[in-house]
Amino acid sequence: MDIAGKTILLTGGSAGIGRELALQLRQKGGDIVLTGRNPDRLKAMEDSGFAVVSADLSNAAGVDALLAAWRARDLDILINNAGQLVDHDFRKGSPDPDAADDCIYANLNAPIRLIAGLMDNLKARPAASIVNVTSGLAIAPAARTPVYCATKSGLRFYTLALRAQLKGTGIQVTEALPPVVDTQMNDGNPMKKMPVAECARQIVVAIEKDRDEANIGLTKSLRIAESLSPALAKSLSLRF
């Protein structure tokens, strides 16, 4: 898909991968509306010339408010990038179940509700694209982040089924599977981290080339390991 002139809704676009996606998509000529929940970061993006919508996607009210704000506006590309990482490790103590609920909603429920609520907008365009940002951990889990892994694997399978449903409709469904990326979410993670700009670049290329999947960085190696031996892939990832 040629990004120039396309109207793009990008969730979680004020920091991390989302912020870099916004910058690179604008360079390609996209008309971007981005969401976020941190007022200072949103203001910084607005001051940089982006249209912004304040939206906390960890609950139904936030998703409904975003859908109400969008209404019948044209939409060419929906990028479900917003996500949360929750500490849910019983080896460290008792996890917070409310924090887990927020993570589940933001990472899984919100993308599903946004896709459902904006499907008519997407179908009305000559060609459209849905991009769901999951994770390499959607393939094989890490022991320290079971809730995050569960949400990303859930979104992965939703994406696979959605792609089959929308075959022949003119709506491309792309899954982006980043590795550990150098963002605030991964502060303290000892693993080698991919630069944010490179991760975003590969996602943009996948959008332009209408790819079904963007296996980014070390995720490519994990996909190979999983194809050869799912048990091997799990044993490698569960160490972390």
* pLDDT at 226 (0 to 100): 77
Q: Tell me the pLDDT band of 234, cut-offs 50, 70 and 90.
A: low
In the chain, % of residues over pLDDT 90:
81
Could you give the CA distance from residue 168 to residue 164 in angstroms, rounded to a whole number? 9
Mean pLDDT of the chain: 93
Out of 30-44, 50-64, 150-164, 188-202, which region has the weakest mean confidence (pLDDT)?
Answer: 188-202
pLDDT at 192 over 90: no
- Among candidate residues 82, 148, 171, 199, the one labeled active-site is 148
* Residue range 102-160, pLDDT digits in tens: 999 999 999 999 999 999 999 999 999 999 999 999 998 889 899 999 999 999 999 99
Which whole-number Å values give the CA distances from 21 to 28, 35, 164, 204, in the listed order?
11, 12, 26, 7
* pLDDT at 181 (0 to 100): 84
pLDDT at 61 over 60: yes
pLDDT at 184 over 90: no
Which helix (H) or strand (E) covers residue 47, if one does? helix 39-47
Could you give the CA distance from residue 156 to residue 80 in angstroms, rounded to a whole number? 12
77-80 and 213-215 beta bridge pairing: unpaired
* pLDDT at 199 (0 to 100): 94
Task: For residues 10-22, give the mean pLDDT.
Answer: 97
Task: For residues 2-18, give the mean pLDDT.
Answer: 97
CATH hierarchy code of domain 7-237: 3.40.50.720
pLDDT at 186 over 70: no
* pLDDT at 240 (0 to 100): 54
Could you give the CA distance from residue 106 to residue 103 in angstroms, rounded to a whole number? 5
In the chain, % of residues over pLDDT 70:
93
* pLDDT at 222 (0 to 100): 79
Reply yes or no on whether 148 is catalytic: yes
